[in-house]
Amino acid sequence: MTSPAEFFDTYCGAVASLDPSALLDLYAEDARVFDAMVPDEYADREEWAGMVNDWFGGLSSGSAQARDVEVVESDDLAVLNGHMTYAGVLTDGEEVEIECRITLVLERIGEDDWRIVHEHNSVPIDMDDEAGDASED
């Protein structure tokens, strides 16, 4: 499996493939996900799978690009954070894109296997906007 330093490449490749199994295989069974989209919390991989299937099923093409990635790694845990741009074309032809911040906590499983045990996505909020709309920055 991928090392923590290469993990975002594997993650982004799974998103681009629109293969739910490829993405979900990166998660531990008990992975907890805090997402920027409602519903915003998933207790485990099974709950997260429903969202991933809906997400990929609504796209005819997709991509994810990580930037400004930082990795902190110890023997059995790694924390990755950075900025992520998700883009795609919906099945009706509309182009969509969202930029967010992402943090992944990985746990070593076995010799060289790493799985996501926690994911947190967030979108900056413009506090000067009465509606609290996400910032375009």
Q: Give the pLDDT score at 1.
A: 59
Domain of 93, CATH number, reads 3.10.450.50
Q: Give the pLDDT score at 131.
A: 58
Q: Is residue 129 part of a domain?
A: no
Confidence of residue 14 (pLDDT cuts 50, 70, 90): very high
Query: How many domains are contained in the chain?
Result: 1
Q: Is residue 131 part of a domain?
A: no
Q: Which two tokens stand for residue 4?
A: 């923590």
Q: Is residue 34 part of a domain?
A: yes
Q: pTM for the whole thing?
A: 0.88
Q: Is residue 30 part of a domain?
A: yes
Confidence of residue 124 (pLDDT cuts 50, 70, 90): confident
Q: Domain range spanning residue 81?
A: 4-122
Confidence of residue 129 (pLDDT cuts 50, 70, 90): confident
Q: Are 25 and 37 in contact (CB under 8 A)?
A: no
Q: Give the pLDDT score at 37.
A: 80
Separation between Cα atoms, residue 114 and residue 47, nearest integer Å: 20
Q: Is residue 33 part of a domain?
A: yes
- The residues, any chain, with a CB within 8 Å of residue 82's CB and separated by 6 or more, are 8, 66, 67, 68, 69, 70, 101, 102
Q: Are 106 and 81 in contact (CB under 8 A)?
A: no
Q: Is residue 133 part of a domain?
A: no
Residue 134 has pLDDT above 60, yes or no: no
Q: Residue 11's closest CA among 75, 76, 74, 78?
A: 78
